[in-house]
Chain A
Amino acid sequence: MIPTLFVLAYLAIVLYIGIFAFRRSQGQAEDYFLAGRSLGPWVFVLSLFGTHMTAFAILGSSGHAFNFGIVTFGLMASSSAIVVPVLLLFLGTRLWAVGKRFGHITPVQIFRDRWECGHIGTLIFFLQAALLVPYIIIGVMGGGTTLSVISNGLIPFWAGGLLVAAVVMSYVFFGGMRGTAWVNAFQTVLFLTFGLIAVVVIGNGMGGFSAIAEKLLADAKTASLLSREKYSPLAFLSYTFNPLSAIAFPHIAIFCLTAKKMDQFKKTVVLYPLCILLIWLPCVCLGVFANQATEIPAIAEKVAAKFATGRPVVADDVMLQLLAHYAPQWLAGLLGAGIMAAVMASDSQILALSTMFTEDVFAFYGAREKFGPKAQIATGRLFIVLVTAFAYVTALKAKASIFDLAVQFSFAGFSAMMPLYVGALCWKRSTKWGALAAILWVAAATVGLFFTPRGFTVFGLLPVVPMTLGSAFLLWSVSLLTPQPSSATVGRYFPDHSTE
């Protein structure tokens, strides 16, 4: 009961933060959707990181490590530690500069202006939206699972999911980007602080990490979890393409536009790898060591099923099970709130979808001029309600494994969209036709992935590699064959200093 109360108190705090942000709002679209481009350095760094950490990252990483071992950290964390800051430094700052200079609020606005196109931008909007929805559904599912496990079933999955969806919807609805950014910053601090305490407490509860590691190594079935001998080096290399998705995620790209000064990227770029280390290392360690926690019936069942079938099992709740079993109740409550914080990262995705819809569709097709800017914000808020309701209803009816799979495809899809950003922001010769060819390729390849058998590779490489290289090749080759935008537009985006 005590952990449940802590989590409920946490939900009340984030709700209050959203309402507090609402009081600071100025009623303009840029203020609601981008916090008036006024986020300070610490809120920016903590919030950007919180925005990128999802239920998939936190619960999924320990579940993946439970099944596959230490390889999880190299696959998803250390590759992000090098790729994501580089993207933020070279593309994030450029996005910020272009957004600030021309007043853009979404990536599609930049593409439309840069390539002098209209409907191709709409196509990009639809593809981004389709790839983002599975993340939002996974977030609601993660919220329901977390509350259900922490309350020992007292709060059923449907009620937990409903509560989390309602809280997220409320603070996004009222607080817009400012509320979302403050909540994300608070969530990151909470998770960083209590995540480390969780490792120590659970480790001691299990008899010490050294003893667990030795036991794992002594058992032939589990020894391979502490090396990467069962994982292909080519597949490992392929995973370094996944973090390319970071800058192509609309919620991250839009977030890059919220900084008050470009200087604020400096802290983010430097601290990002450390945040990755502090959050992922505990999650991966706990996921691997959970294989020895067979005194917990739910984990014992998973271990038995895994070794009996030789196949991975659904294990996203292992961290929560460890927490409920080994941590004192008050600490389990605090840590549960920390996990809930990460699970609720769907807030920025919901806001991004709403921002994109109101700017890229509602405003672009003339509704803002017709109904006014207040109607635009009202439409954005209505969209938030509809998206959240859709995500909740879908989360109740669908199997989690379907969306786990969809999220993996989305990763590949967003990674393959990264060349669009490089083309638009860094290559003068890129054209809308090149962009169209790349987008059609990404859409076709992502749909095609659904029909390939699980574990499908191309010469040993995961599909994300040919998808990204194909997208880059099409953007490059078709752009060279087609006329570029007017020299006035190219001149606006590439002032003289850019060629120095």
Chain B
Amino acid sequence: MKTPTFLFLLVYFALHQDFWNWTQARPLLFGFLPIGLAYHACYAAGAALLMSLLVKVAWPQKWEAWAEKEPGE
């Protein structure tokens, strides 16, 4: 599960470079948000969903346990 999630993270990162929206302003989402801005607003919201997935599959649990141990344990 970790590897596909990390691959998805890479793909998601690449999607930040939305060259297909570069030169156009229309359509205007809700009548006022240019498509390039609406895309990146949705991108930020999608990042929250991706982070909730990452937290589930890639949480550094062992480091957490290690940190809580007394020195020398």
Query: Which single member of B55, B63, B67 contacts A270 (CB below 8 Å)?
Result: B55
Contact A77 B67 (CB under 8 A): no
Contact B45 A86 (CB under 8 A): no
Shortest Cβ distance from B32 into chain A, in angstroms? 4
Asked if A295 is at the interface (CB within 8 A of a chain B CB), the reply is no
Contact B51 A270 (CB under 8 A): yes
Q: Which residue of A lies closest to B70 (CB)?
A: A101
Asked if A119 is at the interface (CB within 8 A of a chain B CB), the reply is no
For residue A106, which residues in chain B have a CB less than 8 angstroms away from its CB?
Answer: none
Contact B51 A269 (CB under 8 A): yes
Contact A271 B48 (CB under 8 A): yes
Q: Which residue of A lies closest to B18 (CB)?
A: A74
Shortest Cβ distance from A276 into chain B, in angstroms? 6
Asked if A240 is at the interface (CB within 8 A of a chain B CB), the reply is yes
Q: Could you tell me how many residues of chain A have their Cβ less than 8 Å away from some Cβ of chain B?
A: 55
Contact A78 B44 (CB under 8 A): yes
- Which listed segment binds B: A124-132, A221-229, A370-378, A430-438? A221-229
Contact B24 A233 (CB under 8 A): no
Q: How far does the alpha carbon of A263 sit from the alpha carbon of B28 in the complex, in Å?
A: 40
Asked if A163 is at the interface (CB within 8 A of a chain B CB), the reply is no
Q: Could you tell me how many residues of chain B have their Cβ less than 8 Å away from some Cβ of chain A?
A: 44
Q: How far does the alpha carbon of A81 sit from the alpha carbon of B37 in the complex, in Å?
A: 14
Query: Which single member of A94, A227, A270, A284 contacts B23 (CB below 8 Å)?
Result: A227
Interface residues of B in 14-67 (CB under 8 A from A): 16-19, 21-26, 28, 30-34, 36-37, 40-41, 43-45, 47-48, 50-52, 54-55, 58-60, 62-64, 66-67
Asked if A335 is at the interface (CB within 8 A of a chain B CB), the reply is no
Asked if A401 is at the interface (CB within 8 A of a chain B CB), the reply is no
Query: Which single member of B32, B47, B67 contacts A101 (CB below 8 Å)?
Result: B67
Q: How far does the alpha carbon of A73 sit from the alpha carbon of B12 in the complex, in Å?
A: 17
Interface residues of A in 210-261 (CB under 8 A from B): 210, 212-213, 217, 223, 226-229, 233, 236-237, 240, 261
For residue A271, which residues in chain B have a CB less than 8 angstroms away from its CB?
Answer: 48
For residue B59, which residues in chain A have a CB less than 8 angstroms away from its CB?
Answer: 266
Contact A89 B23 (CB under 8 A): no
Given that A70-B37, A73-B41 are known contacts, is A209 also in contact with B48, CB under 8 Å in the complex?
no
